[in-house]
Chains A and B, each alone.
Chain A
């Protein structure tokens, strides 16, 4: 590809991205829009029932925006209202429980992440513990804790990994490397439990999660990421 072609391609991509970027902004729903949207996509009866679930949640201090989002998601996925309503009630209850376990927080991001973590099997005590240890990083920490458990890491070991990762990393980015690092080792043949143990030891030995994530199979200490033929995202992948 010539320089001119690269420039032209970049400009076209930038223009398209800019247009879609603007479209994305326009499509984000504000609070008051959500209720209107529910009335648009559901029958009056269904919308009224959804509004009743939302109002009940509001009275209990549960964030209502995620409930509206869930209902809109259901409509987008063509789920019948009869199946959306139980899911909303269940979600509302889960958010309320998560909220309580997280010290009554009113941060929507915390409550949603907490509700998801409960759904994925994270115990109430672990939820509270992470909420106390992770501070502002609580939503990401809860998400990662849920991912670890879903990957098959036992709860206690997952909690150990999370505590170590919270100490060894700064910012959300460091925490977000936990799951890819685990998946990398599982993909290379390790059991999730063993992978979590190895990850724990590697972190304690000063190896970063990023190094583990990018290491070649069987090597946790490499600082050079191998780029096999066809897997370098900057190059065209051969057809299969």
Chain B
């Protein structure tokens, strides 16, 4: 389950524009089903909110992000992002996030999960600001048909430092940040989309916060859309916020563009000033991690002179998947999409064959493939053995 929660740090005037962008641009969701390593470069802008102390600022941004998931839902993610201020108002900034999620199950009925992340942020002058926070979220998940009922807890702790400089005068402040709470959540799955509605009650140093949230995530043809609306009832009043992220492929499987934008949450662990932010980054997937799940080839049945082998590769992002190997004279054989996987049956005579997949034109052998062996040229082939009698599998 990869619906991320927001973690953050205090943002005050001066550093606020930068941290808003850092929050918006940090790793949020994987582009690949099993995770990937990707680099992103682009531009971003923090908008001044009416009546606030925040100044608008523009940045060149760049980041490196990685995430890795197993079929059972355990995974880790991390990333670094930074911004170079293009005007004198904003300061150069950098951020990192490290996190993970572990899942355990009690039969089919209940799933227990715990996720956590550590987030760090620093912005240079004119207003020096640093923050480090950690957040943990335990969940009990109860699948009911296409829905999942979730009861979650939420706890966060952190601290921030800010320095005010006026020629020879420097004043530094340190602030402890914390919140804890929880609530119910309902997730509904429709094919390649998921909607989420939740309520949260959070206790903080600044009083009690109520949070209602509605979120939609959907993927199609290599694109991903995520949109969130939140309504906050805080000691300072009621506020509606939201954010969106749209990722689209750019002329190939590994290049993509990501547009983010939104209005700042009054999250008690963020305590940011009201404002908006937006950015556009161009990304390149450097490594695509493969499935660790079902073996990609099984022998279905005996045929005259051999067997029928079924090749299957799970990949919901790819536009085209082909299989090729000794059995096809190394000619790519187009596979057919079947739900979340690509499949193809091929008749094979008895023998030992090397093979692999072309995912959007790039060589790929999943981790679960049997008989992985070097091809002598820097890549790996998988192997299928078809027994002489062909009736054993």
Give me the interface of A with B, judged by CB distance under 8 Å: 13, 16-17, 20-21, 23-25, 27-29, 33-34, 37, 66, 69-70, 72-77, 79, 83, 87, 90-91, 108-110, 112-113, 116, 119-120, 136-137, 139-140, 143-144, 146-147, 150, 171-173, 176, 179-180, 183, 187, 216-217, 224, 226-231, 233, 236-240
Q: Other than A172-B387, A240-B33, give 20 A-B pairs with Cβ distance below 8 A.
A: A20-B345, A24-B327, A27-B331, A27-B333, A66-B326, A76-B330, A109-B386, A116-B383, A136-B387, A171-B387, A172-B393, A187-B72, A228-B72, A228-B103, A229-B1, A229-B73, A229-B141, A231-B293, A237-B314, A239-B194
Q: How far is the CA of A112 from the CA of B384 in the complex (A)?
A: 11
Q: Are A79 and B377 closer than 8 Å at their CB atoms?
A: yes
Q: How far is the CA of A113 from the CA of B193 in the complex (A)?
A: 44
Q: Are B294 and A233 closer than 8 Å at their CB atoms?
A: yes
**B235 interfacial by beta-carbon distance below 8 Å:** no
- Interface size for B (C-beta < 8 A) is 83
Q: Within 8 Å CB of A76, what residues of B? A: 324, 330-331
Q: How far is the CA of A229 from the CA of B350 in the complex (A)?
A: 38
Q: Are A17 and B336 closer than 8 Å at their CB atoms?
A: yes
Give me the interface of B with A, judged by CB distance under 8 Å: 1-2, 29-33, 69-73, 103-105, 107-108, 111, 141, 143, 148, 189, 191-194, 217-219, 224, 292-295, 308, 314, 316, 324, 326-331, 333-336, 338-341, 343-347, 349-352, 354, 363, 367-368, 370-377, 379, 381, 383, 385-389, 392-393
Q: How far is the CA of A76 from the CA of B363 in the complex (A)?
A: 11
Q: Within 8 Å CB of A91, what residues of B? A: 376
Q: Within 8 Å CB of B351, what residues of A? A: 108-109, 112
Chain A nearest CB, measured from B283 CB (Å) = 15
Q: Within 8 Å CB of B326, what residues of A? A: 66, 69, 73
Q: Are B340 and A236 closer than 8 Å at their CB atoms?
A: yes
Can you give 22 contacting A-B residue pairs, CB < 8 Å? A21-B346, A24-B344, A24-B347, A69-B330, A79-B377, A83-B377, A90-B376, A113-B371, A119-B373, A140-B385, A147-B372, A176-B370, A179-B370, A183-B367, A183-B368, A187-B70, A224-B107, A230-B73, A231-B73, A231-B293, A233-B314, A240-B33
Q: How far is the CA of A228 from the CA of B372 in the complex (A)?
A: 28
Q: Are B373 and A120 closer than 8 Å at their CB atoms?
A: yes
Q: How far is the CA of A203 from the CA of B170 in the complex (A)?
A: 69
Q: Are A233 and B341 closer than 8 Å at their CB atoms?
A: yes
Q: How far is the CA of A238 from the CA of B314 in the complex (A)?
A: 13
